[in-house]
Amino acid sequence: MLLISNGRVLNPASGSDAQRDILLDGDRIVGLAPHGQLADQARGAEIFDAKGLIVAPGFIDLHCHLREPGGESSETIETGTRAAAHGGFTAVCPMPNTRPVNDNASLTRSIVERAAAVSPVRVWPIGAASIGSKGEALAEIAAMKQAGIVAVSDDGHPIANAKLLRSVMDYCRELGLPVIDHCEDSSLFAGAVMREGKQSVRLGLRGMPAATESLCVARDVQVGELTRCRLHIAHLSARASLDLVRAAKARGLPVTCEVTPHHFTLIDEDVEYDSRYKMNPPLASREDREALIAGLADGAVDAIATDHAPHEPALKDVEFDKAPFGITGFETAIGLGLELVHAGKISLMRMVELFTSGPARVLGIERRIAENEPGDLTIFSTEHKWTFRAEESASKSRNSPFDGREFRGAPMATVVAGRIVYQR
Ligand code: DOR
Ligand code: ZN
């Protein structure tokens, strides 16, 4: 038994915010009560003193890259999930763009088995929509669902062919799986490495306009409407895309979206000739960032997702043009989320919702702290001061533009299935 004592327990699903003790037994929550009231029931339990800390349902990351199989020099399931635990995540959803691509049930099973052996957190894989994520033929989605996928995506690429997207969505509606699209119009993308604007001109780098993303979002919403399948827009970065999601939601369509910490924190003007600022979608304009923050605050955005995309130094330490897209994200996510809270842009409860019940709803599940619920908790401080040092990261990779950034607030303990898997 484990007693999480006297923390400030935030439960976005019910809106409750109160000092509570939480008792865990086995892999479940067995008690939730005002401080002191579980003393009898908790006799003999290990005690974690959460005084002064926030206790939230376990954080879920809808979007990450663990690189195994095929990219083990950048990350493995073991190192990536350890970084996730350090970042306060209790469950992560790895994208299928491994080598080979996770487009079949036997690979899905091997990822699930590997995770069961080495991962401190839950690993809920996402299966490819098309074979090899090539956008040509449907992957074996039903068999992958049997093996444990929680969603379908060709992340890294959009599902460019609308007819194929329609077929994927028809299947996924029947299977009850959301389709997650990496929205990008490849003709506008065409070799770009950052957002088009003054900064791309200044740096002499090829830019892409915001419409690269929003054109594809508009198409997806319309194909989604044909099928009534749940559609989730990955790493949404542009105001125009968010306006389309808002309009779809207003019409009652099952459309959701996620925003990454880097897109609500940085803008194109922050991009330096340094590949740690290269990711896809690229950092957007100031106006876009303000629109994303407004969406995080008012509910238009459903989840914060990291898009943790590790790349080993040998790949990333090259000219901007040649470097792969992507930055690490697990360990800085809570700190960056709290920057919005400290700045008064979103409430603490809303931030917790964006990491818990928000992403859970995208997956069609619930996340709350209550008796009989899974014993997954994220315990964090809103005040603890620390500096992120990429070289000290649990990830195998160091490609973060936030290296050296000072944070106010940090994950303090991660509890998965009733066990503390990380403690600061
Ligand atoms: O920045 C990115 N990195 N965007 C993607 O879509 C793919 C990802 C990766 O796999 O590195
Ligand atoms: Zn992507």
Cα–Cα distance between 211 and 178 in angstroms, integer?
24
Residue type for 196, please? E
Residue 418 pLDDT grade (very low, low, confident, very high; cuts 50, 70, 90): very high
What confidence tier does 61 reach under pLDDT thresholds 50, 70, 90? very high
pLDDT (average), residues 246-269: 98
Is residue 94, in this structure, part of any structural domain at all?
yes
DSSP 3-state of 192? coil
Supply the pLDDT for residue 158. Answer: 97
Minimal-distance CA residue to ligand 1 atom 5: 156
For the CA of 234, the closest atom of ligand 1 is: 6
User: Stretch 308-330: mean pLDDT, rounded?
Assistant: 97
Catalytically annotated residue among 307, 317, 321, 376: 307
Distance CA 35, CA 18 (A): 10
For 169-222, the pLDDT digits (tens) are: 999 999 999 999 999 999 999 999 999 999 999 999 999 999 999 999 999 999
The CATH number of the domain holding residue 180 is 3.20.20.140
Q: Is residue 62 part of a domain?
A: yes
What is the 309 CA–ligand 1 centroid distance (Å)? 6
pTM over the 0.95 mark: yes
243, 228 Cβ separation under 8 angstroms: no
Name the residue at shortest CA distance from atom 6 of ligand 1.
156
What's the pLDDT score for residue 160? 96
Q: According to the model, what pLDDT value does residue 7 have? A: 98
Ligand 1 atom closest to 327 (CA)? 1
What pLDDT does 3 receive?
98
The CA 155 to ligand 2 mean position distance, Å, reads 5
Beta carbons within 8 Å of 191's beta carbon, 6+ residues apart: 206
Domain boundary among 363, 384, 401: 363
Whose C-alpha lies nearest to ligand 1, atom 3? 326
Distance (angstroms) between ligand 2 centre and the Cα of 307 equals 7
Instruction: Report which bound ligand comes closest to the CA of 283.
Output: 1
In this structure, are 162 and 33 located in the same domain? Answer: no
- Residue 117 in any domain: the answer is yes
Within 6 A (CB) of ligand 1 lie: 65, 97, 155-156, 182, 279-280, 309, 324-326
Which amino acid belongs to residue 122?
R
- Considering the domain architecture, whether residues 230 and 143 belong to the same structural domain is answered as yes
Tell me whether residue 131 is in a domain.
Answer: yes
Percentage of the residues of the chain whose pLDDT score is greater than 90: 100
Q: How many residues does the chain have?
A: 424
pLDDT (0 to 100) of residue 248: 98
Give the per-residue pLDDT at 187.
Answer: 96
3-state DSSP assignment of residue 231: strand
Testing ligand 1's pocket by substitution, the residue of 126, 154, 155 carrying the most ligand atoms inside 8 A of its CB is 155
225 burial (CB, 10 Å; 0-12 / 13-18 / 19+) is middle
**Reading across the β-sheet that carries 255-259, which strands appear in turn?**
126-127, 151-153, 179-181, 231-233, 255-259, 303-304
What local confidence, expressed as pLDDT, does residue 284 receive? Answer: 98
Last residue of a domain, one of 335, 363, 391: 363
The reply to whether 146 and 50 lie within a common domain is no
Same domain, 33 and 68: no
What is the crossing angle of helices 348-355 and 333-342, to 10°? 150
- Terminus-to-terminus CA distance in the chain, angstroms? 20
Q: What is the mean pLDDT of the chain?
A: 98
Q: Where residue 75 falls among pLDDT bands split at 50, 70, 90?
A: very high
Distance 135 CA to ligand 1 centre (A): 17
Say if residue 43 is in the same domain as residue 62: no
Residue nearest to atom 2 of ligand 1 (CA): 326
Do both 45 and 117 map to the same domain? Answer: no
Instruction: Verify that 282 and 405 share a domain, yes or no.
Output: no
Contact in structure between 304 and 59 (CB atoms under 8 Å): no
At 65, the pLDDT band (50, 70, 90 cuts) reads: very high
C-alpha 415 to ligand 1 mean position (Å):
28
**Same-domain pairing of 246 and 296:** yes
Q: What is the pLDDT of residue 336?
A: 99
A 10 A CB-CB count for 274 gives 12
- The tens digit of pLDDT for each residue in 20-45 reads 999 999 999 999 999 999 999 999 99
How does pLDDT run across 218-231, given as a tens digit for each residue? 999 999 999 999 99
Candidates 381, 379, 390; CA nearest to 422 is: 379
- Give the number of the atom of ligand 1 that is nearest the alpha carbon of residue 157: 6
Does residue 15 fall inside a structural domain?
Answer: yes
What are the angstrom distances between the C-alpha of 198 and each of 159, 195, 208, 401? 30, 9, 12, 20
Dihedral of CA atoms 36, 37, 38, 40 in degrees, nearest 10, equals: 90
> Any catalytic annotation for residue 307?
yes
Task: Work out the average pLDDT over 87-108.
Answer: 98
Asked if residue 356 is part of any domain, the answer here is yes
Position 368 in a domain: no
At position 185, the amino acid (one-letter code) is D
Q: What is the CATH number of the domain that holds 382?
A: 2.30.40.10
Distance CA 320, CA 329 (A): 19
Mutate to test the pocket of ligand 1, among 307, 395, 397 (most ligand atoms within 8 A of CB): 307
Domain that holds residue 50: 2-54+373-423
CA distance 306 to 92: 10
Ligand 1 center–CA 308 separation, angstroms: 8
Give the pLDDT mean for 233-258. Answer: 98
User: What local confidence, expressed as pLDDT, does residue 267 receive?
Assistant: 98
Which residue's CA lies nearest to atom 4 of ligand 1?
280
Residues 165, 166, 168, 174, CA torsion sign = positive
Per the listing, tokens 């002191």 go with: 36
**For residue 326, which atom of ligand 1 is closest to its CA?**
1
User: Ramachandran region of residue 120, left (φ > 0), alpha (ψ -120 to 50) or beta?
Assistant: alpha
Number of domains in the chain: 2
The C-alpha atoms of residue 415 and residue 160 are separated, in whole angstroms, by: 40
Which domain-ending residue is among 363, 387, 412?
A: 363
Q: Is residue 42 part of a domain?
A: yes
Q: Are residues 212 and 124 in the same domain?
A: yes
Nearest ligand to the C-alpha atom of residue 280: 1
Average pLDDT, integer, range 388-406: 98
Are 212 and 315 found together in one domain?
Answer: yes
- Residues 377, 335 within the same domain: no
39 and 69 co-located in one domain: no
**3-state SS class at 261:** helix
> Tell me, what's the pLDDT at 16?
97
Mean pLDDT of all residues in 58-71: 98
Peptide bond into 69 cis (omega under 30): yes
